Amino acid sequence: MSEPAAPLIRIQGVTKRFGEVAAVNEVSLDILKGELFAILGSSGCGKTTLLRMLAGFERPSAGRILIDGADMTDVPPYERPVNLMFQSYALFPHMTVEQNVSYGLRKEGVPAAQIRERVAEMLSLVKLESHAGRKPEKLSGGEKQRVALARALVKRPKLLLLDEPLAALDKKLREHTQFELANLQYQLGTTFVVVTHDQDEAMTLASRIAVMHEGRIAQVGTPGEVYEYPANRYVAGFVGNINLIEGRITERADGRLLLHSDALEADLAVACDDPSGLDGAVTVAVRPEKITISREAPAGGGRNVVKGIVRDLGYFGDQSLYRVRAKSGAIVQVSAQNLRRSAKLTVEWDDEVFLSWEVASTILLRS
């Protein structure tokens, strides 16, 4: 996907109020053609309302939605070039798989011969040719999901919306389906917007993610940007594990802030090109996997080194998780890859350890 892409969907200042409450608040977002875009947020963050406005089930209280240049704000769902794959799949229980998939084409008035052809093509794409005559109740969860996908895709929508597409599947099937979904999207080139509360789902599927919080967009970026460069405290805490550290500015070196954390009894350093607006207390953050844990004091480092005692240890085989307590009682989470084969851990419970991380790994959170 290297060719320059035009924004297919433009969400411009969209607000949706239910009574006094703004479920979606002044959201503006551009989604590019051919993108696999994820809207990520916890329940009640407004992502479902935003999705329903894209599908046409809800009308924005303010703002507008453009799809391929056309204003969709007042276009009813049955006239939009958009299809939705429901979280519950919403397969018509009284119709066979084939009737379910052909329903949209029949409503569109597509000639019967073409319907047959397109439905067969779709069913073979999702590998359900042999199930065409079955009713939904005779299908497994994964098969239902594929029927729902085929039914939504057969109309060749400009935009496919997927509401928690993997939530109803068990863990094994999820991992498999995840890759199939991304693959299918790549093959078809249709723009997908996935709404999900599951950060793993968003991270692995999407080319870009919008994190929503309390009706607003907290950050938009690639999975890497959202994870490594969270824009604020909420995104930092919501996506992945993180250690939040409160600090007091002690010195402004060029391109750096030097801080002292009372809770960790440590001097910290964080990269900062523009220290304006920052004074006194600031919050920095470090991901657990960026921290090195060791029983020996690291050489040469006074900054970003924390002393503590291992209070908890979780061994997962490929990695170990540590909860290390500093003298003040503050807990720092550390994860370490178990790179060397050994049944004996180098760091054990109650060991006194040194935690250290690079300046570049420290995240400065301005809000």
Partner 1 sequence: MSGAASRGRDRSLRWLRRAVMFPYAWLLLFFLAPFLIILKISLAEPVVAQPPFSALLEWGKDGFEGVRATLSNYAFLFQDGYYGIIYLSSLKMAAISTLLCLLLGYPMAYHIARQPPRRRQLLLLAVILPFWISFLLRVYAWIGLLNNKGVINDVLIWAGVIDQPIQLLYNDFAVYLGIVYSYLPFMILPLYANLERMDLDLLDAAADLGARRWQAFADVTLPLSVPGIIGGCLLVFIPAVGEFVIPALLGGADTLMIGRVLWDEFFVNRDWPVASAVSVVLLLLLIAPIMWFQRLQGREHGGVS
**To the nearest whole angstrom, how small is the minimum distance from the Cβ of residue 140 to partner 1?**
14
Q: Rule CB under 8 A: choose which of 88, 140, 183, 250 binds partner 1.
A: 88
Q: Which stretch binds partner 1 (CB under 8 A): 102-110, 164-172, 252-260, 330-338?
A: 102-110
x/- site string to partner 1, residues 127 to 146, per CB under 8 A? -------xx-xx--------
Q: How far out from the chain centre does Cα 148 lie?
A: 22
Q: Which stretch binds partner 1 (CB under 8 A): 15-23, 149-157, 192-200, 255-263?
A: 149-157
Q: Which of 134, 325 has the CB closer to partner 1?
A: 134
Q: Which of 139, 217 has the CB closer to partner 1?
A: 139
Q: Rule CB under 8 A: choose which of 6, 13, 21, 57 binds partner 1.
A: 57
x/- site string to partner 1, residues 216 to 235, per CB under 8 A? --------------------
Does position 325 interact with partner 1 (CB under 8 A)? The reply is no
CA–CA distance, 17 with 302 (Å, rounded to integer): 52
- Within 10 angstroms of residue 100's Cβ, the number of other Cβ atoms is 25
Does position 197 interact with partner 1 (CB under 8 A)? The reply is no
Contact between residue 126 and residue 89 where contact means Cβ atoms under 8 Å apart: no
| Phi, psi (degrees; rounded to nearest 5) at 117 | -65, -50
Q: Which stretch binds partner 1 (CB under 8 A): 12-20, 150-158, 171-179, 272-280?
A: 150-158
CA–CA distance, 228 with 221 (Å, rounded to integer): 11
Does position 76 interact with partner 1 (CB under 8 A)? The reply is yes
Rounded to the nearest 10°, the torsion over CA 24, 25, 28, 29 is -30
Does position 199 interact with partner 1 (CB under 8 A)? The reply is no
Strand-strand pairing, 82-85 and 21-32: unpaired
Does position 159 interact with partner 1 (CB under 8 A)? The reply is no
Q: Which of 135, 323 has the CB closer to partner 1?
A: 135
**To the nearest whole angstrom, how small is the minimum distance from the Cβ of residue 83 to partner 1?**
6
CA–CA distance, 362 with 282 (Å, rounded to integer): 12
For residue 347, give Cα distances in angstroms to 126, 241, 304, 309, 338. Answer: 48, 21, 20, 10, 11
CA–CA distance, 27 with 16 (Å, rounded to integer): 9
Is residue 40 packed enough to be buried (19+ CB in 10 Å), middle (13-18) or exposed (0-12)? buried
Does position 111 interact with partner 1 (CB under 8 A)? The reply is no
How is residue 85 written in tokens?
Answer: 């794959």
Q: Which stretch binds partner 1 (CB under 8 A): 1-9, 87-95, 193-201, 347-355?
A: 87-95
Query: If you ran DSSP here, which 8-state letter would residue 278 be given?
Result: -
Percent of the chain as helix, strand, coil, to the nearest 5: 25, 35, 35
**To the nearest whole angstrom, how small is the minimum distance from the Cβ of residue 149 to partner 1?**
13
Q: Rule CB under 8 A: choose which of 34, 41, 60, 104 binds partner 1.
A: 104
Sheet with 208-213, edge to edge strand ranges: 82-85, 159-163, 191-196, 36-40, 208-213, 216-221
Interface residues with partner 1 (CB under 8 A)?
55-57, 76-79, 82-84, 86, 88, 90-94, 96, 103-104, 107-108, 134-135, 137-138, 151-152, 155
